[in-house]
Amino acid sequence: MFKLKNDAFLTIDSGGSKTNLSLYSSEGTLIKKSTCQGFGKTFDTNEIIPELLSVIQRHCDGFTVDTIVCNLGGRNKGEILKTLKTFSPSSEVLVLRESEGDIGRMLCKMYNAQVALLAGTGSIAIADVEDNTVICGGWGANIGDMGSGYQLGLEAIQQVLKEIDCSEHFSLLSKTILKEECPPRLNSASEYCKYRDSIREKLSPFDRYHIAEYAKVVYKCAEEGDDTSLSLYKKVGEDLADIVLSAIAKIGVNGVGVVVSGGMVNAKQFWKNHFENRLSTHTDLKNISYIANGVDQALSEIAKKVIER
């Protein structure tokens, strides 16, 4: 049994759209969990993030935090580290970027897998075989997070625009997003211009968080049997499989175990079969696990190891 000098340790999982904070007792029992906005960024100012500091102070109020371990889906490691050390200068602090592979390696160890796929707002695959770590995907929302919540939200928007341009009818997805029953009949350039501007305003803002939020609409419509939404999920499954297959090809191993973690696991009923079928076509799957909160589990295990050493 590991022991803390004080009474709690904190794990943080922060990406581009969401941050999960989990506070544990010295015995490893979850005390409190909360969720707030994401603080993962594509740039690093090495300055304190006041909003994150405030969230942590509220979350840990009344507890002495001895150890903090953070998984970061972003490049701003300096900002996160400075914020955490400001919160608790005496704490042992470990900030791990997703692309550094530590979380993926721990998940592989925990679930007897060779490839860990993290699929939330972003997507990244980490393969770990005999100390050989391979990273595929996870290039970022604007250039390559295929199969992610962000990508699903973006493709939902693109589908809506396609239906406006090319169809006389709206799918349930477009009806739900636009709150319109069908594309309007427009007869002049000025009418088109006005309508197109209204659509942009209705769909905005176009930051990562709000685009990823459209994935929730796709989920709701898929639950109601909307063919358009189900086809978007089919692509999710195939895109995620391709990331995993790329990682498998790089480690050169056949017969692998895969563990999938992240928010997209909560919608796996819509993409799981497409994912597994594509994988099975190209590799020998030994086992596959779907663990929505796997990153939190891995962070807790890493924090315990930090405490023990």
Q: pLDDT for 61-73, tens place per residue?
A: 999 999 999 999 9
- The per-residue pLDDT for 203 is 96
pLDDT in tens, 158-169: 999 999 999 889
- Torsions phi, psi for 185 (to 5 deg): -90, 115
Q: Cβ neighbours of residue 245 under 8 Å, at least 6 residues apart?
A: 278, 279, 282, 283
Q: For residue 111, is it within any domain?
A: yes
* pLDDT surpasses 90 at 287: yes
Say yes or no: 20 and 95 in one domain: yes
pLDDT in tens, 40-55: 988 999 999 999 999 9
With CA atoms as reference, report the closest residue to 120 among 140, 150, 143. 150
CA triplet 169, 174, 176: central angle to 5 degrees?
125
* pLDDT surpasses 50 at 3: no
Say yes or no: 108 and 244 in one domain: yes
Q: What is the CATH number of the domain that holds 86?
A: 3.30.420.40
Assigned token pair, 118: 């993290």
- Torsions phi, psi for 147 (to 5 deg): 80, 5
Q: For residue 299, is it within any domain?
A: no
pLDDT in tens, 214-235: 999 999 999 999 999 999 999 9
Q: What is the model's pTM?
A: 0.91
H/E element, 25: strand 18-25
Domain final position from 226, 241, 258: 226
Q: For residue 2, is it within any domain?
A: no
Cα end-to-end distance, the chain, whole Å: 12
Domain final position from 226, 257, 272: 226
Say yes or no: 26 and 154 in one domain: no
Say yes or no: 94 and 31 in one domain: yes
Task: Tell me the one-letter amino acid at 95.
Answer: V
Domain range enclosing 192: 149-226
Say yes or no: 58 and 41 in one domain: yes
